Amino acid sequence: MKKTYKIDVDCANCANKMEEATKKTPGVRDAVVNFMALKMKVEFEDGADVNAVMQDVIRNCKVVEDDCQIFL
Ligand SMILES: [Zn+2]
């Protein structure tokens, strides 16, 4: 399953950090952050609890970039 989220982040470098943090989150198969569009595309593992996974994604992204936001 794939979902696209609107994000807020200050620069392309932080967007890359968010992408890496998201990819490392359990339940995420792949993630792509588009800084120009301020969007994040997340592909979830089969059977993943999307809402629970996204809470972990937000937490992990905040660790690498305190100032980022993901709008669920
Ligand atoms: Zn930045």
Distance from Cα 62 to the centre of ligand 1, integer Å = 12
- 13 falls in which pLDDT band (50, 70, 90)? very high
pTM value surpassing 0.75: yes
Distance from Cα 2 to the centre of ligand 1, integer Å = 26
Query: What's the rounded mean pLDDT across residues 20-34?
Result: 98
Distance from Cα 56 to the centre of ligand 1, integer Å = 21
Residue with structure tokens 């089969």? 46
Domains delineated in the chain: 2-71 (3.30.70.100)
Distance from Cα 16 to the centre of ligand 1, integer Å = 9
- 72 falls in which pLDDT band (50, 70, 90)? very high
Contact between 67 and 13 (Cβ < 8 Å): no
Distance from Cα 24 to the centre of ligand 1, integer Å = 19
